[in-house]
Amino acid sequence: MWRFLIKRAGLALVTLLCVSVILFAVAQVLPGDVGRAILGPWATEVQVRALDHQLGVDRPLYERYWTWLSDFLRGNWGESYLLRRPVDALVLDRLKNSLILGAFALCLIVPTSIWLGVVAALSYGKWLDRCISIAGLSLIALPEFVTGIIVLAIFAVELGWLPASAHVPGLNPLSWFRQLLLPSIPLMFVLFGYISRMARAGTVESLRSNYVRTAILKGLPRRTVIWTHVLRNSLLPTITVISVQTGYLVGGLVVTETLFNYPGIGKLVLDSAIGHDLPVLQATVLLVAILYMVLALAADLLYTLLNPRIRLSA
């Protein structure tokens, strides 16, 4: 089991290193002339050169890559070109906001989707199953901005129940719902499709298995069979899907945060890419990659801990 996890961690590190090289390469092409981009078209050539030198963008590539990576690892993420603020405070603050939004969406949708997925599997082939499956299939497919704009039109404009642009909520749980419910709906729709589909497939499979048939034949009540025999096994693949989809969340956040004007990391990626704000862009995307890898590893660990077949082999 440990060998498996160490191997996965090694692979994750290699992937991260690849991401950092790609990101660095992108950052080299992206700005064209950094000094010129910051100072504008009317600055003199001498001023541009001086700024380039001050920012260190006139040194050889490998040296800059190394400086950048070691600085990043030491927590020295530089200063935003546009906002003239330290990158670490900015990015971490935005990350915190996005984690609040993402966690809110996950907390609401994971139990709901698992529940509906299991319900669909228990009524396999009936109309309830069809409805849940078709709803999931359609909701996965809809872009976040389409569902987002529709809920905005209904709940913020037409009914006026919730604000049209979201702010970071305070400590009051009521304000969480008020601020986060609308922007998290588009995310929840997509997640619902994936998670409920996995929960349904897992449940259908374990319902057909021999051990469940044995449990039913030996006269156990239906409730006991479902809770102790079916759910335990059917939820295993669901865990993997949740971790993969948490990675997706970051992509979804770019769109929802833009639509709802929520100050999170997704909006930061878009704004810094459009504004060619390299230090911010690099730090944000690398952080997202690290976060994603950690989540994937956590899911692997959880999966091995919960699955005796993997835990006890090796």
Partner 1 sequence: MVVGSPTAREPGGSADPPVEQASGRSQRAKALVLALLGSWTFVVGAAILAFWIVDALIWRILVPYDPEAFASATLQAPSLAHWFGTDDLGRDVFSRVLAGAATTLTVAPAATALGVVGGILVGLFTGFYRGIADDIIMRIVDSLLAFPLIIIAVLVISILGPSVTNVILVIGIVFTPIVARTVRAAVLAEREREYVSAARLLGNSGPYIMFAEILPNITGPVAVEVTIRLGYAIFTSATLSFLALGIQQPSPDWGLTISIGRAYLQIAPWEVLFPAAALATLIVAVNLVADALRQVLEE
Picking from 281, 292, 280, 283, the residue whose alpha carbon sits closest to that of residue 75 is 283
152, 239, 242, 283: which one binds partner 1 (CB under 8 A):
152
Q: Which of these segments, 12-20, 58-66, 105-113, 114-122, binds partner 1 (CB under 8 A)?
A: 12-20
In whole angstroms, how close is the CB of 166 to partner 1 at the nearest point? 14
* DSSP collapsed to 3 states, 268-292: HHHHHHHCCCHHHHHHHHHHHHHHH
Q: Which is nearer to partner 1, 169 or 193 (CB)?
A: 193
Q: Residue 305, interface with partner 1 (CB under 8 A)? A: no
Q: Residue 138, interface with partner 1 (CB under 8 A)? A: yes
45, 62, 73, 158: which one binds partner 1 (CB under 8 A):
158
Q: Which is nearer to partner 1, 51 or 285 (CB)?
A: 285
Max Cα–Cα distance, the chain, nearest Å: 87
Token pair, residue 136, equals 């999931």
Residues 262 to 301 in contact with partner 1, rule: CB under 8 A: 269-270, 273-274, 276, 281, 285, 288-289, 292-293, 296
Q: Please state, in angstroms and rounded to a whole number, the distance separating the CA atoms of residues 144 and 185.
A: 9
Residues 21 to 50 in contact with partner 1, rule: CB under 8 A: 26, 29-30
Identify the three-state secondary structure at position 201. Answer: helix
Q: Residue 13, interface with partner 1 (CB under 8 A)? A: no
Distances in Å between the alpha carbon of 210 and those of 127, 216, 263, 304, 312?
A: 26, 10, 51, 23, 21
Q: Which is nearer to partner 1, 56 or 251 (CB)?
A: 251
Q: Please state, in angstroms and rounded to a whole number, the distance separating the CA atoms of residues 129 and 135.
A: 10
In whole angstroms, how close is the CB of 143 to partner 1 at the nearest point? 5
Picking from 258, 241, 225, 243, the residue whose alpha carbon sits closest to that of residue 136 is 241
Chain centroid to Cα 196, Å, comes to 18
User: Which residues sit at the interface with partner 1, rule CB under 8 A?
Assistant: 11, 14-15, 18-19, 26, 29-30, 134, 137-138, 140-146, 149-150, 152-153, 157-158, 164, 194, 244, 247-248, 250-252, 254-255, 258-259, 269-270, 273-274, 276, 281, 285, 288-289, 292-293, 296
